[in-house]
Amino acid sequence: MTDETPGGGEAPGPEVSASDDPDARAWEDGLLARARARSTGETTGTEHPTEHVAEDPLPAEAPEPEEPTWRSPAVGVPIVTRADLTGGGNPVTGPLEGTFDLPVTPPWSGSPTTPPTLDAPVDVRQEVDLGIPGRLGSARRSVIEWGSVLVGALVLALIVRTFLFQAFYIPSPSMEPTLWSGDRILVNKLSYQLHDVYRGDLVVFRSPPGVGAGGEDLIKRVIALPGERVTAQGGRLLIGGGLLIEPYLPFQEGTADFGEVPGCTDSEMGACTVPDGNVFVMGDNRSNSRDSRFFGPVPIDSIIGRAFVRVWPLGALDRL
């Protein structure tokens, strides 16, 4: 096998035998030294910097070495062997002279030459108590809140019941067909604190002494006001001689004549003059109602309030 030199002549190819042959190693070292000189831009006495020179022949049995990759001396990149990197150097020329900066970037951030400090303080943020209650505190707070709501509701209901509104149950048929047994109504307790009693109002009042089961409240309709004279003729009521129109009755001629009425200003049979501070009341079911015809006029100050709405049953919700 032959190689052509840069001058065009043929030279015997570099062949070596075994790597442990002294002549072969001397030839390799010389070749490496010349290659290193070319890469650094230096020249020897036997070569020109711009052309290749055939190397010294080796014994015939030496194997052909790998051809080096030549680069222009102007680049200035040295050829570094494994021995140079590991510090073993070259047995002929010794280790490479000079300093070679390798582009090694450390894996840590910051300065490329400063390794991280293992015992550097770690930024531990201070814990802040945001006041979030635990399960026990949350349960205690819920009990307090619901207890406050219930107590407030009870107090409000007591105030409303005492001063504003109150529900009543109708136990008898004395107000039919306006109110039926089992109906529930709401009574406005402020009505007669704001205005006088009007004819036709449905009023709830405390039963007069000796009437009904002790302390039972009654509901009736106001027929005559203080100072008026009420009588019954031919099934109709007359107020001061005038005929009373009662559209709430199922039929107009349903009121029977009545006899002597207790508690009236005069004692005329079948007539009653209402005293001051009292009203004459009757049930809408005239044939089945125990009212002022039997126990006399009712004091206004015994009136609890005015019934204004029926709330039960739901289907019978109605303004009175």
pLDDT for 52 equals: 45
Give the DSSP H or E segment for 155. Answer: helix 135-159
* 196 and 295 inside one domain: yes
- Among 62, 83, 102, which residue terminates a domain? 102
Give yes or no for a contact between 226 and 278, defined as CB atoms under 8 angstroms apart.
Answer: yes
For residues 213 and 286, membership in a common domain is answered with yes
Q: Which H or E run includes 281?
A: strand 278-282
**What per-residue confidence (pLDDT) applies to 7?**
44
Can the peptide bond before residue 173 be classed as cis, meaning omega within 30 degrees of 0?
A: no
220 an active-site residue? yes
From residue 108, how far is each of 102, 118, 237 by CA, in Å? 17, 12, 111
Q: Are residues 220 and 75 in the same domain?
A: no
The total of structural domains in the chain comes to: 2
Is the residue at 134 inside a domain?
no
Give domain status of residue 65, yes or no.
yes
Domain boundary among 65, 80, 102: 102
In a domain, 251, yes or no: yes
What CATH number did the domain enclosing 228 receive? 2.10.109.10
Q: Is residue 177 part of a domain?
A: yes
Same domain flag for 82 and 182: no
Environment class of residue 159 by beta-carbon count within 10 Å: exposed (0-12), middle (13-18) or buried (19+)?
A: exposed
| CA–CA separation, 184 and 186 (whole Å) | 7
In a domain, 126, yes or no: no
Residue 74 lies in a domain: yes
Catalytic residue among 39, 189, 191, 220, which? 220
Q: Residue 279 has what pLDDT?
A: 97
71, 102, 133 — which closes off a domain? Answer: 102
The H or E element that residue 152 is part of is: helix 135-159
Catalytic residue among 174, 191, 289, 292: 174
- Are 88 and 214 in a shared domain? no
If asked whether residues 196 and 310 sit together in one domain, one would say: yes
**Other CB atoms within 10 Å distance of the CB of residue 128:** 6
Clarify whether 174 is annotated catalytic: yes
Do 194 and 94 have their domain in common?
Answer: no
Consecutive 10-residue runs of the chain (320 residues): their mean pLDDT? 45 47 78 79 52 47 53 50 55 50 52 55 68 74 89 88 87 92 94 93 90 77 95 91 91 85 85 94 92 93 94 87
Per the domain annotation, does 124 fall within a domain?
A: no
Examine the domain organization and report whether 76 and 222 are in the same domain. Answer: no
Is 110 domain-assigned? no
pTM for this entry:
0.55
Question: Containing domain of residue 305, as a range?
Answer: 164-319
Residue pair 55/68 in contact (Cβ under 8 Å)? The answer is no
